[in-house]
Copies of this chain bind each other. A is one copy, B any other.
Amino acid sequence: MARSYHHGALAEAMVEQALTEVRLHGADHVSLRGIAQTLEVSPSAAYNHFADKDDLLRAVGLCGLAALDERMTRVVAAHPGDTPEAARARFAGLGRAYLAFAIDETHLFQLTFGPLCAVGEMSPDETGPYLKLQAALDDVDRHGLLRPGVREGLDVTVWASTHGMASLMVEGAIPPEAGDVFIDSMSRLMFAEHA
């Protein structure tokens, strides 16, 4: 059946193949034709499943978001409990996971948060990373760890900071080792007493 006229799961296969090629060479260097050839399928077969090339790449971008979300989920799971220490560990861990994702999966990160994917227009449940960050921030606040009067707008500020740090590291403007310095700096800014 593997050799039959119909592929059976072309859509998933194309996303997967595109995903690995994006990981290797970046979104700009993947071609629909190349993917089709690797899958031993005619180039135009893709158009039964995707509106165009960008549509396929958007699907890959969603995989990137999912991968980031998974990393963050793991971090949350690794630091359970309702103690202040756990809350702080979760928060810092989430930041580190975000940066680690950007470094490990540079190309995927660029696609996911690039112009093609328009993160801004995603459905809320696809924006897991932001929600997790919000939750961690709430926990940290609930334990009274934040400096007073600092909470307003902090969700956005923290997300922006982390995302900017990740972006600049990906572009080579800031060396990857600076990640810890950043987390520390951010902690000093936010927390009442620095650990």
When distances are taken between beta carbons in the complex, the residues of chain B under 8 Å from A182 are 153, 156-157, 160
Q: Is A74 an interface residue (CB 8 A)?
A: no
Residue of B117, B120, B165, B178 near A164 (CB, 8 A) is B165
Q: Is A150 an interface residue (CB 8 A)?
A: yes
A72 to chain B, nearest CB (A): 16
When distances are taken between beta carbons in the complex, the residues of chain B under 8 Å from A167 are 113, 160, 163-164, 167
Q: Is A131 an interface residue (CB 8 A)?
A: no
CB contact list, A137-177 vs B, under 8 A? 147, 149-150, 152-154, 156-157, 159-168, 171-174
Q: Is A190 an interface residue (CB 8 A)?
A: yes
A28: nearest residue on chain B (CB-CB)?
Answer: B115
A112 to chain B, nearest CB (A): 10
Q: Is the pair A120, B173 in contact by a Cβ cutoff of 8 Å?
A: yes
Residue of B120, B162, B173, B185 near A153 (CB, 8 A) is B185
When distances are taken between beta carbons in the complex, the residues of chain B under 8 Å from A184 are 152-153
